[in-house]
Amino acid sequence: MNVVLVLVDTLRRDHLGPYGAPPLPTPAFDRLAAGGVTFERHFLGSYPCMPARRDLWTGRYEFPFRGWGPLLPSDRDLPGLASAAGVRTMLITDHYHLFQPGAGNYHFSFQGWEFIRGQEDDHWATAPVEVPWPAERERKLHRRWERYWRNTARWRTGLHWRREEDTFAAQTFSSAIRWLRENAASPEPFFLLIDCFDPHEPFDPPLAYREAAGAPAGAIPWPIYGRADRYTPEELAGIRALYAGEVALVDAWFGRFLQACEDLGRLEDTLILVTTDHGHLFGEHGMIGKPSATHGDSNLYRPLAHVPLLAHHPEGRGAGARCAELTQTVDLYPTVLEALGVPLPAGAGLHGRSLIPWLTGRAATGSLRPVACYGKFGEAVQITDGEVVLHQWPPGEANAPLHWYGSEPPAFLRPRGLGSFEPWPAPALGRYPVDWARGPCRTALYDAGEAVDLAGERPADVRRLQAALAEWLRAVGAPAEQAVRLGLT
């Protein structure tokens, strides 16, 4: 069997038809769900972009051990295992973080990869350009907009794309369609990973999609992470509309790819998975973007953490099926390997479980997991039983002890008192002491509505989930200091 894994960055589940009533129709995602399985309780693991990808590439949670960074030499990465087993592997992406110093080496093990240049802050174009943006709005626009504008100026007339085909979603899925056609006669099974950066900001859909979503002409395409009250209600509405247009754009070009799969007969021999790394906040809890502790409230609320997973399996258990199991990103690693017929690596200490039984109807007895845990390195750990979520923060003002584990020090964190160009002290057994902001948040318990902190009135649920979190940390082999830091000992 072949596998196509489509990773759509920053994709909120409430903007997809299979999960409700989206702002704009999503016929392609609807079509995939109608012929496959919609996972109703799928949560991220490590957050944000690159930690989520390391969960996928390795089948292990990253956030208890380290944060944003590259694969390690010891990782038994998914494309490497597949390539070594005789699978034809290909990566097609416009996601520049996969190649970025200090963050990316995620393309190394693919037999082939294509990088579509120019997205977001990709260091690509250098020609000077005039940015046509009203000066009074600059303080509300992300400072990296100028680089994005320089990257995309070749495809624009004024503020708008000249052709939809030049947008990054279109280029990414068009490249994937070409690859499918060029490799149609290949005798080996294949693994194709499409990593589409849209609808991640900048929210910059073509004019037709802006108009369909009702975005005003001056809508802000790249808002600044943090407190949402930086923006007026009208500005927030415009930002949301641009995002909805981006989702519709991705759906349209994914739809072309899905049609190409059908035309080539690939729906009959290929597992197709569609998911994301995380969602995005558009004013929920007074925040916008993907806030960190340095921005204020950085709890991983449901719009960020409760993410979509759609799957088509040629031997699926029925059209339009829905799965209520608690699933996470780490489950995709063993799922893809099982579908490809590649054995799991012995002694790898995997944290995920294959979803193939739940895709085919041959489900194992019992449930996948009783709880799902997720978080960002150095911040809260969230634990959910699918009904309520506990956001467990350190009980005091200190955020310690905290160490980064790996063969290399972090590229984006520095120890206290160490200058920017001073070398890191030699690690003790691969442990680098790091400081990370504690932030203002406190341990809280929320139900699905997330309107009121229920910790005070439901202390038994808090204790139950804290005990389950302590057990989970032990089960995944997390450093013992994490339980100490979080006040669970």
Render pLDDT for 460-477 as a digit per residue (tens, 0 to 9): 999 999 999 999 999 999
Q: How far apart are CA 419 and CA 409, in angstroms?
A: 14
| Local confidence band at 28 (pLDDT 50, 70, 90 cut-offs) | very high
- Give pTM, 2 decimals: 0.96
Does residue 351 sit in the same domain as residue 385? no
CATH number, domain of 331, equals 3.40.720.10
44: nearest Cα among 33, 35, 53: 53
Whether 88 is in a domain gets the answer yes
Domain end among 336, 360, 384? 360
Q: Which amino acid is at 36?
A: G
Does residue 141 sit in the same domain as residue 61? yes
Q: How many CA atoms lie within 13 A of 180 on its CB side?
A: 25
Does residue 8 sit in the same domain as residue 109? yes
Whether 366 is in a domain gets the answer no
Domain end among 337, 360, 383? 360
Mean pLDDT over the full length of the chain? 94
| Local confidence band at 324 (pLDDT 50, 70, 90 cut-offs) | very high
pLDDT tens digits, residue range 57-100?
999 999 999 999 999 999 999 999 999 999 999 999 999 999 99
Does residue 350 sit in the same domain as residue 412? no
Whether 206 is in a domain gets the answer yes
The domain of 292 spans 2-360
Q: How far apart are CA 138 and CA 391, in angstroms?
A: 35
Does residue 355 sit in the same domain as residue 393? no
Close Cβ partners of 148 (under 8 Å, ≥ 6 residues apart): 119, 120, 121, 202, 204, 222
Range scoring the smallest mean pLDDT among 58-67, 123-132, 189-198, 465-474: 123-132
Whether 324 is in a domain gets the answer yes
Asked whether the beta carbons of 118 and 169 are under 8 A apart, the reply is no
Number of folded domains in the chain? 2
Domain end among 360, 380, 397? 360
pLDDT score of 366 more than 90: no
Asked whether the beta carbons of 255 and 27 are under 8 A apart, the reply is yes
Does residue 18 sit in the same domain as residue 74? yes
The pLDDT assigned to 456 comes to 96
Whether 365 is in a domain gets the answer no
Does residue 260 sit in the same domain as residue 384? no
Token pair in block for residue 299:
């709890």
Does residue 278 sit in the same domain as residue 185? yes
Task: Determine the average pLDDT of the residues in 381-397.
Answer: 96
Whether 367 is in a domain gets the answer no
Does residue 354 sit in the same domain as residue 377? no
* Percent of the chain scoring above 90 in pLDDT: 81
Whether 245 is in a domain gets the answer yes
Asked whether the beta carbons of 140 and 235 are under 8 A apart, the reply is yes
Does residue 384 sit in the same domain as residue 354? no
